[in-house]
């Protein structure tokens, strides 16, 4: 069948693909331990589930405004003011089918052919493909371990051109867990402000997942000038363990938000009405479950970092945020497992899946060779068992 050039140039999401492989092996009865997909293993808190059931009973089962119900926009507005110090009007907020959808829509309405989007690497898997799908050109800027995998203002200035339409800034970062400080953000903001056509797409989906006294700062909150140039992306997937409910949102300049809502009205229509009511309860209700989840994740992070550092040749930073670790594993390259030579992170990830039954994602999926990403959104027993399998695999490398 002849598909469009657009479709031909597109690859499926590698994180979701790895998760699908792990699930398929489990269906065959293979006991796979998964550190692959980034989703909390906690259940959606009970009061949120109850709100969804109540929404169905109350008949909230019909189309809603394409960009979201006013009640949800109102609680998002309150959250952005209370937590981030950001004042928006409801027409500066759009609710989408997950943060992924909000990002997709933003690139669709912002980019013309040849427009550039700066993406620091390692980057979350979907940014570059979404930019390409919108006809834009991803400009990948590799960061280095010595800056904690953070883009510097000097690097940014070197890559800004008159065609740059956006910088994607993901803090806390998937896959490295990097968290930008206020000072680092201010330096990036200054560089962007010197380019009138450049926006910042601030993906803050891991906002509450910061550890060891680190603080999440929204770059939009630094000044009115930078707020006018920022599209804040967030959602309920991670912080309320609601990945399957598919609610994300964007806040930013009114014209941009309107265009995103119009695109939605022609494509998906509204995000699920019931999920929107559940998200109202999530944002309005007790935030205690979030704190409990973050505390559990911090313990798990320390456990997994310790286990990975015990592998000969492996180095691993302690990530200050998100729920991923990103160990350097190139010590394994060129070695053999049985009669198989491991040449890169993709081959290492596949060998770990097939031989050790541990699912994780190769660094190459995030535009960064030599590393692996492990999501530690798994319980401590699974983490211990998974680390043991990885250690046995490592010992067998020759
Ligand atoms: N941004 C980042 C950095 C992510 O890791 C994810 C993962 N799901 C998303 C956006 C999308 O989240 P969702 O669509 O579930 O809201
Ligand atoms: N963002 C998560 C991850 O990186 C979920 C999968 C996806 O949306 O790609 O694993």
Are the beta carbons of 151 and 122 closer than 8 angstroms? no
Helix (H, G, I), strand (E, B) or coil at 385: helix
Residue listed under structure tokens 């930073």: 317
Mean predicted confidence (pLDDT) in 5-31: 90
Ligand whose nearest atom lies closest to the CA of 173: 1
Structure confidence by residue, pLDDT tens digits, 201-259 = 999 999 999 999 999 999 999 999 999 999 999 999 999 999 999 999 999 999 999 99
CA–CA gap between residue 358 and residue 360 (Å, rounded)? 7
CA–CA gap between residue 394 and residue 298 (Å, rounded)? 25
Distance from the CA of 194 to the center of ligand 2, in angstroms? 33
Mean pLDDT over all residues of the chain? 97
Give the pLDDT score at 10: 84
Distance from the CA of 225 to the center of ligand 2, in angstroms? 32
What token pair was written down for 128? 């570059």
Q: Which of 17, 103, 124 gets mutated to test ligand 1 (max ligand atoms within 8 A of its CB)?
A: 124
Ligand 1 proximity of 208 Cβ (cutoff 6 Å) = no
Ligand 2 proximity of 273 Cβ (cutoff 6 Å) = no
Residue 146 has pLDDT above 90, yes or no: yes
Ligand 2 proximity of 38 Cβ (cutoff 6 Å) = yes
Are the beta carbons of 168 and 117 closer than 8 angstroms? yes
Distance from the CA of 195 to the center of ligand 2, in angstroms? 31
CA–CA gap between residue 319 and residue 322 (Å, rounded)? 8
User: What does 31-57 look like in DSSP terms, one character per residue?
Assistant: --EE--S----SPPPHHHHHHHHHHHH
CA–CA gap between residue 309 and residue 304 (Å, rounded)? 9
Structure confidence by residue, pLDDT tens digits, 342-367 = 999 999 999 999 999 999 999 999 99
With 0-12 CB in 10 A as exposed, 13-18 as middle and 19+ as buried, what is 26? middle
Ligand 2 proximity of 237 Cβ (cutoff 6 Å) = no
Structure confidence by residue, pLDDT tens digits, 307-348 = 999 999 999 999 999 999 999 999 999 999 999 999 999 999
Structure confidence by residue, pLDDT tens digits, 277-312 = 999 999 999 999 999 999 999 999 999 999 999 999
Residue 16 has pLDDT above 90, yes or no: no
Give the pLDDT score at 52: 98
pTM greater than 0.95:
yes
Are the beta carbons of 242 and 48 closer than 8 angstroms? yes
Residue 148 has pLDDT above 90, yes or no: yes
Structure confidence by residue, pLDDT tens digits, 123-143 = 999 999 999 999 999 999 999
Confidence band for 22, pLDDT divided at 50, 70 and 90:
very high
Structure confidence by residue, pLDDT tens digits, 96-118 = 999 999 999 999 999 999 999 99
**Taking the mean position of all CA atoms in its chain, how far away is CA 161?**
26
- Could you give all domains of the chain from N- to C-terminal order, each with its CATH number? 5-43+289-396 (3.90.1150.10), 62-284 (3.40.640.10)
Ligand whose nearest atom lies closest to the CA of 233: 1
Ligand 1 proximity of 324 Cβ (cutoff 6 Å) = no
Give the pLDDT score at 147: 97
């Amino acid at each position: 069948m002849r598909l469009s050039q657009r479709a031909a140039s597109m690859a499926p999401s590698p994180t979701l693909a790895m998760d699908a492989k792990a699930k398929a092996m489990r269906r065959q009865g293979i006991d796979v331990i998964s550190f692959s997909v980034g989703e909390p293993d906690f259940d959606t808190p009970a009061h949120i589930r109850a709100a969804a059931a109540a929404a169905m009973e109350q008949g909230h089962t019909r189309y809603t405004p394409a960009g979201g119900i006013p009640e949800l926009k109102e609680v998002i507005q309150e959250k952005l003011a209370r937590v981030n110090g950001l004042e928006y009007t409801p027409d500066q907020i759009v609710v989408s089918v997950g943060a992924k959808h909000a990002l997709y829509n933003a690139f669709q309405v912002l980019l013309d052919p040849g427009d550039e989007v700066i993406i620091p690497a390692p980057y979350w898997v979907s940014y570059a493909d979404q930019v390409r799908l919108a006809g834009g050109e991803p400009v990948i800027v590799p960061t280095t371990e010595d800056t904690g995998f953070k883009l510097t203002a000097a690097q940014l200035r070197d890559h800004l051109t008159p065609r740059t339409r956006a910088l994607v800034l993901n803090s806390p970062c998937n896959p490295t867990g990097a968290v930008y400080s206020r000072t680092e953000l201010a330096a990036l903001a200054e560089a962007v402000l010197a380019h009138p056509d450049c926006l910042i797409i601030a993906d803050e989906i891991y906002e509450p997942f910061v550890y060891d006294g680190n603080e999440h700062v929204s770059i939009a909150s630094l000044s009115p000038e930078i707020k006018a140039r920022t599209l804040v992306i967030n959602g309920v997937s991670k912080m309320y363990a609601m990945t399957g409910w598919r609610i994300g949102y964007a806040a930013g300049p009114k014209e941009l938000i309107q265009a995103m809502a119009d695109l939605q009205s022609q494509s998906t229509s509204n995000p699920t009405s019931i999920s929107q009511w559940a998200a109202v309860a999530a944002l309005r209700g007790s935030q205690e479950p979030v704190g409990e989840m973050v505390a559990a994740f911090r313990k798990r992070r320390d456990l997994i970092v310790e286990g990975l550092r015990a592998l000969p040749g492996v180095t691993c930073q302690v990530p200050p945020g998100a729920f991923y670790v990103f160990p350097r594993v190139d010590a394994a390259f060129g070695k053999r497992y049985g009669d198989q030579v491991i040449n890169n992170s993709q081959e290492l990830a596949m060998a770990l899946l097939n031989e050790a039954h541990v699912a994780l994602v190769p660094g190459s999926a995030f535009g960064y060779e030599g590393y692996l990403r492990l999501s530690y959104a798994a319980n401590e027993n699974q983490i211990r068992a998974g680390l043991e399998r990885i250690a046995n695999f490592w010992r067998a490398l020759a």
